[in-house]
Amino acid sequence: SIVDSDPHGYRGLCRHLGISAEPAHRIGSYVVYPVDERILRRFGVDFRHVRIGEPKVELRGGAVEDCYGVRWVPTPSKSMYYPTDPPLAGAKGVEDVEDYDKWPDAGDPAFTSGKAEEAEGLRERTDCAIMADLGVASNFIHRYAQLRGFSQWLLDIRLRPELFEALVSKIFDVNTELAEAFLTPIADLVDVVCISDDMGSQASPFVSREAYGLRIKPWLKRRIDSLRRIAPRAKVLYHSCGSVRQLIPEFIDAGVDILNPIQPLAAGMEPLQIKAEYGGRLCLHGVIDIQRMLPFSTPEEVRATVRGILDLMGEGGGYVMAPSHQIQADIPAENVVAMYEAATMP
């Protein structure tokens, strides 16, 4: 898993820092949680995460079935997991959505157990911003693709609009129930609520701005409005990978406060241009390239690159330094350290 992956991984970073790693595990498809507090303090990280629980069933061969009945299989390195065999791939109409019987139950304590105490402890022990990560309940288009298949959601949005609306509506309702169960006890403690839906490839958005505005943005706006009712003091961070510059005005109009991850090698995602165009209305979170720069540069090159980004992106505020996606097992520990030292050391 990403915890143990060679040559680096989480335990490799701990060894490099001289820290005996506390127990950690993979959640979702590639996220390590919790990250040792000593690492967060060493790197000057001023956010702390509370993440919704993620009940799952372990299957043979290292695969897992998540709470939506979606099967995930590991890559050969086990540093990433990907969905396979979408359970609603054969759905022909609304009745197939209604007949599906593996929807998660928001009353399951596995989603919420210990989360209020975790948030309260963070608020008492730190002055960091607390980020509530909705995890399995964070997206509806990604979940649609996992249930129907990636190519199928792109076809459905055009060819089967009735089925598209029915399945999105069901996912929306289930995720809203999960969000309410998770967020309500901690609403007064959290500063940021994290949601996601990747809307772009390396080359372009998955759909046109027109299609996004017609079919997807109304659901995102409803989602953000519902989150603001539950946690009115919190900002909303929206994670959307890839080339999404054409869609940024729609994100803003839907109520997004913070956009992550700003992948600089994706088409059109030049960070300075995005900051110049939208910086007054949107906080940018990410930018530090994990595709080429962090895996293949020397530590000295990493420090110089990160300092240059901070000088330019940090001017006037509205930027949070972070990698342009999760730090993966091909990034040397020395470069992880160099990235954070560039931000925290003179």
The HSE-up count of residue 126 (CA atoms within 13 Å, CB side) is 21
Q: Is residue 115 part of a domain?
A: yes
CA dihedral 247, 249, 250, 251 (to 10 degrees): 90
Q: Which residues in the chain land under pLDDT 70?
A: 1-7, 21-31, 77, 79
Q: CATH no. for residue 212?
A: 3.20.20.210
The H-assigned helical ranges of the chain are: 9-17, 37-42, 94-99, 115-125, 141-148, 150-159, 161-183, 209-211, 217-230, 248-254, 271-278, 293-296, 299-313, 333-344
The pTM (predicted TM-score) of the whole model is: 0.95
Question: Partners of 51 in the beta sheet?
Answer: 133
Q: Is residue 326 part of a domain?
A: yes
Please tell me the predicted confidence (pLDDT) of residue 172.
98
Domain that holds residue 173: 46-51+85-344
Neighbours of 139 (CB within 10 A): 23
CA dihedral 67, 70, 75, 81 (to 10 degrees): -40
User: 187-226: buried (b, 16+ CB within 10 Å) or exposed (e) per residue?
Assistant: bebbbbbbbbbbbbeeebbbbeeeebbebbbebbbebbee
Q: Is residue 18 part of a domain?
A: no
User: In whole angstroms, what is the distance from residue 185 CA to residue 339 CA?
Assistant: 35
Q: Which amino acid is at 93?
A: G
Q: Are 319 and 284 in contact (CB under 8 A)?
A: yes
User: In whole angstroms, what is the distance from residue 273 CA to residue 46 CA?
Assistant: 26
Q: Is residue 178 part of a domain?
A: yes
Q: Is residue 139 part of a domain?
A: yes
Q: How many domains does the chain have?
A: 1
Q: Are 324 and 261 in contact (CB under 8 A)?
A: yes
Please tell me the predicted confidence (pLDDT) of residue 346.
78
Q: Is residue 28 part of a domain?
A: no
Please tell me what DSSP assigns to residue 335.
H
What is the secondary structure of 153-196 as a DSSP string? Answer: HHHHHHH-HHHHHHHHHHHHHHHHHHHHHHHGGGTTT-SEEEEE
Q: Is residue 149 part of a domain?
A: yes
Q: Is residue 2 part of a domain?
A: no
